[in-house]
Amino acid sequence: MPKVGKERTLMSTSNSTLNTFLLEVTMAVEGDVVLIYRQEQPTVFARVEHIEPDIKRDWYHITLLLLTVPTQVVTWILRGSYIEGELFTMGGVPMRLERVPKTALPEEAPPAKKPGVKKKASGKPGTVIPFKKPSA
């Protein structure tokens, strides 16, 4: 089982039981964006679409949406430690996943009111002025 950290829940579609895992904060979960490294070079971004346990202990089926043009969907079978960012190989080529941290957007202040501009308070709809073509 991955290191103790944040508690996340994963749903297994194969047996419809709810599996709860304690995951390290760095482990990617469904909905996260990851950066895939190939030979220690950043190669492509991907969104984690689905993670479900494999029949082998500590292995998972991870479905990724590769954010390429056009997008591609791939499913890899990886150990939990590989999903956490540990180096692994595919066909002898070193690979690594790195979770992209979410950025907190600053809260937007309500738009400032312009002095001298007032909205009509009546419940009536506005007037529609038709556009007339100039006659030739």
Q: Is residue 12 part of a domain?
A: no
Range of the domain at 38: 28-99
Q: Which residue has the tokens 């990724």?
A: 64
The neighbour count for residue 81, using CB atoms within 10 Å, is: 15
Q: Is residue 60 part of a domain?
A: yes
How do residues 47-97 score in pLDDT, each as one tens digit?
999 999 999 999 999 999 999 999 999 999 999 999 999 999 999 999 999
Count the domains in the chain. 1
Q: Is residue 55 part of a domain?
A: yes
Rounded to two decimals, the pTM is: 0.61
Residue 21 predicted with pLDDT over 70: no
Q: Is residue 47 part of a domain?
A: yes
Indicate the DSSP class of residue 97.
Answer: E
Q: Is residue 45 part of a domain?
A: yes
Residue 12 predicted with pLDDT over 60: no
Q: Is residue 114 part of a domain?
A: no
Beta bridge partners of 89: 94
At residue 114, the pLDDT reads: 65
The neighbour count for residue 65, using CB atoms within 10 Å, is: 16
Average pLDDT, the chain: 79
